[in-house]
Amino acid sequence: MSRRVFVAGGAITPFLGKGHPDFIWKRHPDFGQRENPTLRELLTSAVTQAAENVDADLALVDKAYVANFVGELFINQGHLGAALAGVHPALALKPTMRVEGACASGGLAMACGVDAIRAGSDVVLVTGVEVQTTASARTGGDYLARAADYERQRSIDDFTFPALFARRTKAYREAFGVTEEDIGRAAVKAYANANKNPLAHMHARKVDLAFAAAVNDKNPNFLSHEEYSPFLKVTDCSQVSDGAAAMFLVSEEGLAKMGLKPSDAIELLGLGHATDSLYVDRDLREMTTTRTAAEQAYAQAGLVAKDVDVAEVHDCFTVTELLMYEALGFAEPGKGSELLKEGVTEIDGALPVNTGGGLVGFGHPVGATGVKQVLELHRQMKGQCGEYQVPATPSVGMTANMGGDDKTAVVGLFRNLA
């Protein structure tokens, strides 16, 4: 017997980093006058805003989780369960904990929240946060490499993850005859959507196809790895962002305790979770772990890919968005780029994907990403996305959050409640 699980809403902070007008760095006019928000401030802001948006009394929270990848490295801070307990007096002395699964940390925190509800909790607070802009992109590349098999893969390039996905891009393009322009469309969509989203890291930066599909001084092939370098430019990469997200997962009783109606919520219908060995790599032209998690989610929900009206997928690099379309069953192997070419995954297309800009445009504060994805579905289903609202109210939505080089995958299927 399984209890029903609902997402009652929450909040996302602005995602900040290089390229965002509010991000403080040495050439910002406010440099020396003010600083970028700390992890504590981001988490406090997400939780406080989430409680306000849902009109929730935080005293009702039975358990709380915080997703974070490498606080120890970027800000010298671990033990983030206690940080979460410190963001509001009502959370002090509650059972809280941190959850880590690289870039899938947020999805895993949601999975823990779902388990908690199924085990009897009624109100669970699921949060995610990461601060990454304290280090240069190169040093950050080393920190993020802890999500790969460090001993075996660290030396591939200073930018380990960009290189691992350039490797996938090479394999994918060579196998399926996909061009740089085909893949560049993923970046153009991401930036265009982010331009409509006031919370997005790349809200103010414009990218057109001519820029995204060709190397130039401002969009270089920046890897040192000779073989993989031609397969990745700056616009192919997700952002190094700071940000947080917080959401309430509730049972039916939890909805009542919070004074909410089912129509305020979306319901989780299926949750797939798969993890593959860190020590071996599979076929680079597909995402086997994500596909496995998606199959689980579809089977639990009794749904198929054609039922999905809106999706949030883990586009850590542009090629990943195409591989995600294929792993989730939206396109046949090698055909993901056709969805982009035909406009299917645009905001006004038949299957809008990453409407707020995804990891490339909205940004990728690693621990926050999986939580943000679910909130984005909630916001789309409740008509709260403003300029990037999809035209028809979605009934079914899907999230796919992925850690490492397709090593941890959490896939959710949700339905809108009227």
- Closer to ligand CAA at the Cβ: 152 or 261? 152
Instruction: Confirm or reject binding of residue 175 to ligand CAA (CB under 6 A).
Output: no
- Closer to ligand CAA at the Cβ: 104 or 260? 104
Site mask for ligand CAA (CB under 6 A), range 287-326, x = bound: -----------------------------x----------
Among 47, 137, 166, 250, binds ligand CAA (CB under 6 A): 137
Cα–Cα distance for residue pair 99/391, rounded to 1 Å = 35
* CB of 399 vs ligand CAA, minimal distance in Å: 14
Site mask for ligand CAA (CB under 6 A), range 185-224, x = bound: --------------------------------x--x-x--
* CB of 222 vs ligand CAA, minimal distance in Å: 3
Give me the phi and psi of 140, to 5 degrees please.
Answer: -60, -35
State whether the Cα torsion 43-48-51-57 is positive or negative. positive
Instruction: Confirm or reject binding of residue 144 to ligand CAA (CB under 6 A).
Output: yes
Question: Residue 369 contacts by C-beta under 8 Å, 6 or more apart in sequence?
Answer: 103, 106, 128, 314, 359, 401
Instruction: Confirm or reject binding of residue 138 to ligand CAA (CB under 6 A).
Output: yes
- Closer to ligand CAA at the Cβ: 49 or 275? 275
Among the residue ranges 39-47, 60-68, 170-178, 231-239, the one whose residues contact ligand CAA (CB under 6 A): 231-239
- Closer to ligand CAA at the Cβ: 9 or 363? 363
Among 5, 178, 237, 375, binds ligand CAA (CB under 6 A): 237
Asked if 115 and 97 count as a contact pair (C-beta separation under 8 A), the reply is no
The continuous run of DSSP H or E covering 124 comes out as strand 123-130
CA 184 from chain centre, in angstroms, equals: 20
Tokens 């645009």 sit at which residue?
A: 346
Instruction: Confirm or reject binding of residue 16 to ligand CAA (CB under 6 A).
Output: no
Among the residue ranges 81-89, 154-162, 303-311, 327-335, the one whose residues contact ligand CAA (CB under 6 A): 154-162
* CB of 105 vs ligand CAA, minimal distance in Å: 8
Among 356, 404, 411, 415, binds ligand CAA (CB under 6 A): 404
Instruction: Enter the tokens of residue 36.
Output: 């970028």
Is 311 strand, coil or helix? strand
* CB of 116 vs ligand CAA, minimal distance in Å: 24
Among 50, 58, 66, 102, binds ligand CAA (CB under 6 A): 102
- Please count the residues of the chain: 418
Torsion (CA) 379, 411, 265, 12 in degrees, nearest 10:
-40
Among 238, 289, 296, 318, binds ligand CAA (CB under 6 A): 238
Cα–Cα distance for residue pair 370/401, rounded to 1 Å = 6
Cα–Cα distance for residue pair 53/299, rounded to 1 Å = 33
- Closer to ligand CAA at the Cβ: 135 or 305? 135
Question: Residue 156 contacts by C-beta under 8 Å, 6 or more apart in sequence?
Answer: 163, 164, 167, 225, 228
Asked if 37 and 272 count as a contact pair (C-beta separation under 8 A), the reply is no
Instruction: Enter the tokens of residue 89.
Output: 């007096």
Q: Which residues of 62-97 are buried (b: 16+ CB within 10 A; e: fewer)?
A: bbbbbbbbbbebbbeeeebbebbbebbebbeebebb
Site mask for ligand CAA (CB under 6 A), range 22-61, x = bound: ----------------------------------------
**Looking at the DSSP assignment, which residues form a beta bridge with residue 409?**
274, 402
Instruction: Confirm or reject binding of residue 239 to ligand CAA (CB under 6 A).
Output: yes
* CB of 13 vs ligand CAA, minimal distance in Å: 18
Among the residue ranges 71-79, 139-147, 180-188, 272-280, the one whose residues contact ligand CAA (CB under 6 A): 139-147
* CB of 322 vs ligand CAA, minimal distance in Å: 15
Cα–Cα distance for residue pair 40/104, rounded to 1 Å = 21
Instruction: Confirm or reject binding of residue 358 to ligand CAA (CB under 6 A).
Output: no
Among the residue ranges 6-14, 106-114, 115-123, 130-138, the one whose residues contact ligand CAA (CB under 6 A): 130-138
DSSP 200-211: -TTTT----HHH
Residues binding ligand CAA (CB under 6 A): 18, 102-103, 136-138, 141, 144, 147, 159, 161-162, 217, 220, 222, 234, 237-240, 316, 364, 403-404
